[in-house]
Amino acid sequence: MGIIVAFLVFLVVIIVLSGIRIVRPWERGVVEFLGRYSRTVNPGLRIIIPIFERMRKVDMREQVVDVPPQEVITKDNVVVTVDAVIYFEVTDPVKVLYNVANFYVAVTKLAQTNLRNIIGDLQLDESLTSREKINSQLRAILDEATDKWGVRVTRVELQRIEPPADVTQAMHRQMKAERDRRAAILEAEGIKQSEILKAEGHKQAAILKAEGDAEAIRKVADAEKYKKIAIAEGEAEAIIKVFESIHKGRPTPQLVAIKYLEALRAIADGRASKVFIPYESAEALGAAGALREIFKDLPPQGGSTQKAQTQGAKPQDTGEEQS
């Protein structure tokens, strides 16, 4: 009798212990009662009714599905080998258990089908350079399709887009030709810029030389102008002094005639072609009857004939002088 009681106690303990379940932090427990969904339990120590209830644990962490390589035909009829990886996480443990039989197989087949459709709409060059575009389109399609399965696709990454060997070699030759073309363009552009800089340098040098020559010509002209002005001022000052001597000193007519002749000879040595003499001075020289003949005999200077002119009218009562 005691053995039977001990056996029953041991059996009860085994049954109770079989109803204890531990749900880890990254899991959720789906409890079924007699084959029907009963409840979802959170992480921790959970107890179910043995024999009548069963718990199925679902991993809620982000998981990875590796899509196997497959051959895909692009829009320009090039066969490429493509494979990808899919990252997903479960949002509803009940749906993922009851709405799809095998999620991994289902999402793999769905990814392969849509990958063929997306790349089939692209040229080879576009498929090689549009990885981000392909990833985003495939993720959007998979996320919408797996929503009813209680799964959210977080991201999709293309691992490889590999053209055939002959296409790869042709692409390498094309890239080499493109690099050579760009190098030739850069070299030609460098030569062009060099020639432009040389031409600009020659232009600036010519401009500076022309400006220097013009400045030198202006300075020479200014010096010549200053020289002529100084000579003219000196001659004018000499005439004024002679004129003042006539009025202040009241010399004899013979002395005046001699001084005038000396002054006129000095004036005749200059470049002036005409000489103006006050009328009073000409009258004061009346004693020298041959004065006009002397003027005529003066030698020419600078290809021009020196000419002495006596202009004016007889002075009025006010003694006004005209020149």
| Structure confidence by residue, pLDDT tens digits, 173-203 | 777 788 888 888 988 888 888 889 888 888 8
Q: List the one residue out of 238, 304, 230, 226 whose CA is nearest residue 267.
A: 238
Residue ranges, the chain, pLDDT below 50: 284, 287-288, 290-291, 293-295, 298, 301-323
| Structure confidence by residue, pLDDT tens digits, 3-55 | 887 877 777 778 777 788 888 888 899 998 888 888 989 988 888 888 888 88
Predicted local distance difference test score (pLDDT) of residue 166: 74
Domains of the chain as residue ranges with CATH: 2-59 (no CATH), 63-163 (3.30.479.30), 251-310 (no CATH)
Predicted local distance difference test score (pLDDT) of residue 87: 93
Predicted local distance difference test score (pLDDT) of residue 276: 57
Are 308 and 267 contacting, i.e. CB atoms less than 8 angstroms apart? no
For the chain, the distance separating the N- and C-terminal CA atoms, rounded to the nearest angstrom, is: 174
What CA–CA distances, in Å, run from 251 to 232, 278, 287, 292?
27, 17, 12, 20
Query: Which 8-state DSSP code applies to residue 149?
Result: G
- Alpha-carbon torsion, ordered 149, 154, 159, 163, to 10 deg: 70
Predicted local distance difference test score (pLDDT) of residue 126: 84
Predicted local distance difference test score (pLDDT) of residue 17: 78
DSSP 38-64: EEEE-SEEEE--TTTEEEEEEE-S-EE
Predicted local distance difference test score (pLDDT) of residue 231: 85
Burial class from Cβ neighbours inside 10 Å (0-12, 13-18, 19+) for residue 4 reads exposed
Does the global pTM surpass 0.85? no
Predicted local distance difference test score (pLDDT) of residue 255: 63
